[in-house]
Chain A
Amino acid sequence: MILYQYFKTCLLGLIRTPSYSLVTILVPSVIFVIVGVTFSDSRQEANFALGSFCVFSSLGVAFFQFGVGIANDRESPWEQYARVLPVHPLSRLLATVLASLVFVSVSICILIVVAFLTTDIGMPTNSWFKMLFGVFVGVFPLAAMGLTIGYWCSPKGALPVANLLYIILAFLGGIFFHPSLMPEFMNSISIYSPVRHIVNLTQAGISGEPWTTEPFLILLAYTILFLILATMGYRRDEAIKYR
C-alpha cells in the first residue's frame, strides 16, 4: 500500500512535468530518426540500431530521473519530512525504480513504433525477447550510476554532470554508431564503458549469437561498484545533513 502510494505519486509528479517526461521519453526516438536511420542500410543494421537506442532510453531515465531527480530531492524540505515517516528508505527507492521502469518501457515502445515506420526492422520473436532482456539487464548498472550521480552531485551540479556523462557514454558505448567506426583510441577506451557491454548484449541477442557469461559478470561488477559508490555518497550526505 505504501509502495503503491509512493509509486503513484512519483509517476504523477513526473507526468505532470511534461518538459521532463516528454523529453526523456521522446529524445531517443528523435535522435533515432536523425542518426539511427542513416546507419540502417540493411535490416540487421536497423535492428542493431534499435537495440542500441533502447539502451539509450534507459540511460536517459537513469541519469535524468535518478541522477538529477535525486540530487534535487535531497535538498527539499519534503524529503526531510519524509524521513520522519514510518517507512524504510529502500521502499521509497524501490517505488522510484518501478516508476522509472514504466518510463523506460513507454519510451522503448514509442521507439519500436518509430523504428517500424522509418526503417526495415524485423527479427524472429526469440531475438526480440533476447534484445529486450539485454536492455533490462542494462537497467541495473545504469540505475546504479544514476544513483551515484544523485548522491554525489549538488542540485546545481547534477544536471551538467548528467548531461556530460550521458553524451560521452552514449558515444563511447557505440549507441549512435558502431565503435569500430571510431578512432582506434576511442575504441580501446570504449571497452571499459558499461554501455558498450549492454549494447553488445542486445546485439548478440538480435543476431542470435550465444550469450557468454562474461558481459553479465562485467555488468554485475559495474552494478556493485556503483551501488557501493552511491551508498558512500548517501552516507556522506546523511552525515552532513542529519548529524
Chain B
Amino acid sequence: MTTMANSTGMNAISKESKEVNAVQFCNVVKSFGSTKALSGLNLELKQGEIHALLGPNGAGKTTAIGIMTGIRKSDSGSVSILGGNPWDKSIRLQMGLAPQESGFPDNLRVSEILDLVKSHFPKPMTDDVLFARFPLEKLKNKQTGGLSGGQKRLLAVALSFIGNPNLVFLDEPTTGLDVESRQNIWKAILDYRGSGGTVVLTTHYLEEAEALASRIVVINEGKKLADGSLEQIRDLVGSSRVSYRGDLPTMLDGATHIKQQDDRVIIITNDSDLVIRSMVRNDLEFQDLQIRPANLEEAFFTLLDNSRQK
C-alpha cells in the first residue's frame, strides 16, 4: 500500500500505521451494576474497512462504541485504538464520532457548530468538500433548534468526518432518516472508505450493513458471536434459503436452521441439493418450493436463534 493523500485532504496514512489495528479489544468486560453489558469481548478491527457491529437491542454495541471512543472505561481487559488510548489527544485528533443521541446547542447556527468542531483539527475538511458530501449548505444559517430529526442526524454524521480523521465511529448513523438522507450518508461513508478511511458503525438495519460493510461482527449478550466478511457470515449458517408450503420437519440432513414463518417453512442451508433430496426421501409434503441465496438478515437471526438454543 502506498501513502494515501487525495483531494479531500485526507491525512496521510503511512504503511506502518496501516498495520496497527483500528480497534483492538482483548477480553473487555463492562458491567453497569448487576447488568453485564460486555462479558469478555474480543475484537480485531483492521484499518481501511467498514466494520458493522450487529446485534439485537441491548447486545452491548453502544457500550462497545463508548469504550472505543473513551467515553466509558472498561472494567477489565485491554483496549487499543489506532495503537493508543482513546482518551489521548493524539488519538482523538485521528478519530470522529457520531453518537446515537445527537443534540446541539439550540440557538447556534449550523455554520457556527461546523466552525467550532473544525477548529479542533489541524486539517479539517473544506466547506466545498463538506457541502458536496453532505447537503447542509442550505441549512448553514439555520439555528440547530429548528432542524428536523433527520437534518440533525446529517449534521452529526458530517461532524464525525469534518476533521478528516483516520477512524470514524457511527452509532446508528441513519436511524430515523428518510430514504434520501440515508442514501446521502451511505454515499459519504463509501466515499470516505474509498479515500482510505476506516469506519466502525452500529446499525440495526441489516440492509445498511449489507450495503456498506466489508466486515461484520455479530454481538450478542456482550460477546462476539461471529465475525467475517458478509459472505463468510452468510456461509457460516448457510448460504441458501429453501422455502415451501407444507410439512414442518424437526430435523433434516443438511439444514442448519428450520423454522415456520406464516404459512411457509424456511430452511437455511449450505447445501440446498442435499436438503431437497432428504425432503423427498422423508416423503415430506411440499408445494411452491423456492430456493434463493440467504441474505444477511436470515443469517443474522439464525445465528441468534442457534446461540439461544445452546
Provide the main secondary structure of the chain B interface.
Answer: loop
Partner pick for A86 among B92, B105, B108, B112, CB 8 A cutoff: B92
B103 touches A78 (CB 8 A): yes
Interface size class of A (residues with CB under 8 A): 20 to 34
Within 8 A of A (CB), among B84-132: 89, 92-93, 95, 97, 99, 101-105, 107-108, 112-113, 115-117, 119-121
A84, B112: Cβ atoms closer than 8 Å: no
Q: Is A212 an interface residue (CB 8 A)?
A: no
Q: How far is it, in angstroms, between the C-alpha of A83 and the C-alpha of B92 when the chains are bound?
A: 10
Q: Does B70 contact A (CB under 8 A)?
A: yes
Chain A residues within 8 Å of B107, by CB: 12-13, 16-17
Contact B120 A81 (CB under 8 A): no
How far is A149 from B31 in the complex, measured between Cα atoms in Å? 30
Cα of A78 to Cα of B69 in the assembled complex, Å:
15
Closest-by-CB residue of A relative to B104 is A78
- Please state if B101 and A77 are interface contacts (CB–CB under 8 Å): yes
Return chain B residues, CB-CB under 8 Å to A1: 119
B69–A84 touching, CB < 8 Å: yes
B251 in the interface (beta carbon within 8 A): no
Given the complex, which residues of A lie within 8 Å of B156, measured CB to CB? 81
Query: Could you tell me if A5 and B69 are in contact, using CB atoms closer than 8 angstroms?
Result: no
Instruction: Flag if B121 contacts A86 (CB, 8 Å).
Output: yes
Cβ of B71 within 8 Å of any chain A Cβ, yes or no, is yes
Q: Chain B, interface size: which category?
A: 20 to 34
Mark contacts of B126-159 with chain A using CB atoms, 8 A cut-off: 1 yes-contact digit, 0 otherwise.
0000000000000000010000000000001000
Chain B residues with CB under 8 A of A85: 92, 117, 120
Q: For the complex, give the distance between the alpha carbons of A12 and B108 in Å.
A: 7
Q: In the bound complex, what is the Cα–Cα distance between A13 and B145 (angstroms)?
A: 12
Interface check B193, CB cutoff 8 A: no
Knowing A12-B107, A86-B89 are in contact, say whether A80-B99 is a contact too (CB < 8 A). yes
> Does chain B have a CB within 8 A of A87?
yes
**A75 (CB) vs chain B CBs: closest residue:** B103
A78–B92 alpha-carbon span in the complex (Å)? 17
Q: Does A42 contact B (CB under 8 A)?
A: no
Closest chain A residue to B143 by CB distance?
A16
Q: Are B71 and A80 in contact (CB under 8 A)?
A: yes
- The residues of B with any CB-CB pair to A shorter than 8 Å are 69-73, 89, 92-93, 95, 97, 99, 101-105, 107-108, 112-113, 115-117, 119-121, 143, 156
In the assembled complex, 16 residue pairs joining A and B whose CB atoms fall closer than 8 Å, in A order, are: A5-B119, A6-B116, A9-B105, A16-B107, A77-B99, A77-B101, A77-B102, A78-B105, A81-B103, A84-B70, A84-B92, A84-B95, A85-B117, A86-B89, A242-B71, A243-B73
